[in-house]
Each structure stands twice: as structure tokens, then as C-alpha cells.
Amino acid sequence: MVDLMDHTKAWISLDLIPNIGPITARKLLEIFKTPENILAAPVSRIKEMGILNTAQAKSLAKGVDSEAIEKVSACLDRLGATVIGMGDPSYPEALRHIADPPVALYIRGSIDDLQPAVAIVGTRSPSHYGKEMAHRMARDLSISGISVVSGMARGIDTCAHKGALKGIAKTAGVLGSGLDIIYPPENAGLSEQIVQKGAVISEFPPGTPPEAGNFPRRNRIISALSTAVVVIEAAGKSGALITARQAGEQGKMVMAVPGAVTDIRSQGPHHLIRQGAILVRDAQDVIMEIAPQIKGFIKDTERACESGNDIINLCTGRAMCIEDIAQELNITAVKLIPKISMLELSGEIIKVEGNRFISRSKDG
């Protein structure tokens, strides 16, 4: 039996081998099941399977760099971070289904209860309108129990994370660098806040600089972790549109917030809308569109309270806040909120002043 640290280092080792990318790693794992088995297998045997090209075979034959592995491991310990490999049970299910899932995810914080989630992305140079829309939409989604995923970049991403932190649900920032190199640097403080109420995630091992080619790659993770992607202000060619395209390829919903027709930052959202993206104005529009998907994330809640009647009965004749309802039903607020959202959408409960909820009377 391999202990946890050995297993962790095995994933780090596999991830650090040059030329062994996500697609090859997945093929190897389908055969060998664990990174330990891959690293222990004779390279000649793997070559006979026709999985590796010449460069990959040479890299695997060369073996792992023990010093590099220890350096990454020490950095993760220092940051209080973990690594999850694509073969681990805790690896996000949504990532397993994309064409090239990361070999490993380096994580600070927790990605438990991240779903349902919506990505909010856009320009690094937003207008006041764009900043306000991103902050407000993220805040209201989070208040309604929808996690917010973004890329921690300047501009719209930053506003979205800050807005989500004002709510209840989690927020996740996906980096285009190692966990130890926050980019942009001024978001170092924001990253610490996100870790306390969600997670900062990267597929790049610690020490990886924020190189330009890393960001299009990280965008596929942003879209994969989300039920829908919302674009707020983006030029005609931008990373936000790459995220939207990847979302479409992954079968996710693409949404866009319209802006002034004279503003170059409206080109991206307006192009998406013309191409069939859903026009959204606020968090409520987004929630209405993803309502059918939300139902798939409330199974745990349904086990904790067999039907929405438990909530309806609690809120009959009195307005209750989410925290009090959760305490009465002995479940977490994060798991309760999606159920609340569905009951609100169906009209069985209504929100009143102070973010409290009360059952709608049978007489209307």
C-alpha cells in the first residue's frame, strides 16, 4: 500500500515528465490505472503498445527529477496546497469529460460543493458599467447558491471574484501560472480571500511563470467547471471569447451581457449573441436559463430533506433566512441554497426583505 505522500509525489512525477501531456497520460492511466504503475512499468513495454512517440519514450526513459519533485512538494506544503490526479476519486467529474483533462490539479482551498457554478469572464480593461455588471451578477449568483468561476485576471475576472465573495456560495480562481506565482501580482490578497471561501486552482506546477500560452489552456478548465459561461465586455479577439468557444465545444451554455454599440468592448458579447448566445441582463436571467441543470446538483440535499415540503413547511407563516433553515434541517447552507433556488423559481416560496424566504400562500 502506498501512503498518501508517495501517491501525491507519483502524480507530481508524472505531471513533471516532459512531453507527457493530458491525452497521453489518460491513455496510460486507462491501462496502468495509477501513476505509480506507469512509473514502474518498463519503457520498452509501454513503447510496444504504440502509445508513446519518440520524444515521449525518451522522456519517460530518462526518469523523474527527484530534486524537482521535492521542490514542488515542499512548495505545496508551504502553501497548504494539495494535488489531485485525474485518476483520483476527488478529481472534478466535469474535467474528466473534456478532450484533454489536466494530468493533475494543484489546489489551495476546497473545490467541494463548487457545483452548480457559472463562469464570468471578460476584458481586462472594463468600463464602469462592465465592472458593476460583473460584481453585481457574481454577488447575486453567489447569494442564490451558484458558485462563480473565473481566471483572476485584471478587470472583469477580478470584479466577479470580489462580487462572489460578498455572497454565500464558493468562488474558484483558475490560474495560468503556478500557485506560488499569482498573476497579476496585485491580486495576491484577493487570492487569499478566495482560498478561504473556495479555491485557487492551477494545472501548472508551482514555479510555472504566467506565460502567454498558459492562459488559453486554463480557459478550458474555467468553462469545464461551469454550467454556463457569461461574457461581460470583450473585444472581438480576446481570451474571454476563447473561453466561450471552449464552453460551446464542451456542450456548456454560453451567455453574454449586451453593452453600448459604440464601445469596442461590446464587440465580443454582441458577436456571441448574433451567433446564438443567450442574452442575459442579471443573475436572475442566468438562473432561469440554468434551472434545469441545477436540479442535477441537489441530490445530496434531497437525501437530507426528502422533498421541498420540509422547506415549505418551515417557511409557512414566517420568513426565515437560509442559515436558520439549514440549521433546522441539519444541512449546510451551501447544499440548501440550490433547493431554495428551485423552490423560488417554481413560485412555491418567495424572497422578502433581508434575504429571507416565506412560503407562498395557497390563496396566492
* Cα(355)–Cα(342) distance, integer angstroms: 16
Q: Which residues of the chain are modeled with pLDDT < 50?
A: 1-5, 299-306, 364
pLDDT at 298: 52
pLDDT at 361: 65
Q: Looking at domain 298-359, which CATH architecture does it have?
A: Orthogonal Bundle (1.10)
Q: pTM (2 decimals)?
A: 0.83
Q: Which three cell numbers stand for residue 260?
A: 453600448
Domain 4-79 in this protein, CATH class: mainly alpha
pLDDT at 1: 34
Task: Indicate the DSSP class of residue 104.
Answer: E
- Cis check: omega of the bond before 116, within 30 degrees of 0: yes
| The domain defined by 117-293 carries CATH number 3.40.50.450 | yes
- Residue 44's H or E segment, with its range, is helix 43-48
User: Where in the sequence of the chain do the CATH 1.10.10 domains occur?
Assistant: 298-359
* Cα(243)–Cα(231) distance, integer angstroms: 9
96-134 residues labelled b (16+ CB within 10 A) or e (exposed): eebeebbbbbbbbbebebbbbbbbbbbbbebbebbbebb
- Give, in order, the Cα–Cα distances in Å from 117 to each of 145, 190, 339: 9, 19, 14
User: Where in the sequence of the chain do the CATH 3.40.50.450 domains occur?
Assistant: 117-293
Give the model confidence (pLDDT) of 183-217 as tens digits.
999 999 999 999 999 999 999 999 999 999 999 99
Question: Which has the closest alpha carbon to 244: 270, 264, 263, 262?
Answer: 270
Give the model confidence (pLDDT) of 141-158 as tens digits.
998 888 999 999 999 999
List, as one string, the DSSP characters of 184-244.
SGGGHHHHHHHHHTEEEEESSPTT----TTHHHHHHHHHHHT-SEEEEES--SS-HHHHHH
Give the model confidence (pLDDT) of 11-23 as tens digits.
999 999 888 888 8
3 state SS of 34 = coil
Nearest-10 Cα torsion for 16, 19, 22, 27: -110
User: Where in the sequence of the chain do the CATH 1.10.150 domains occur?
Assistant: 4-79
Q: For residue 356, what are the β-bridge partners?
A: 321, 352
Residue 288's contacts (CB-CB under 8 Å, 6 or more residues apart) are: 345
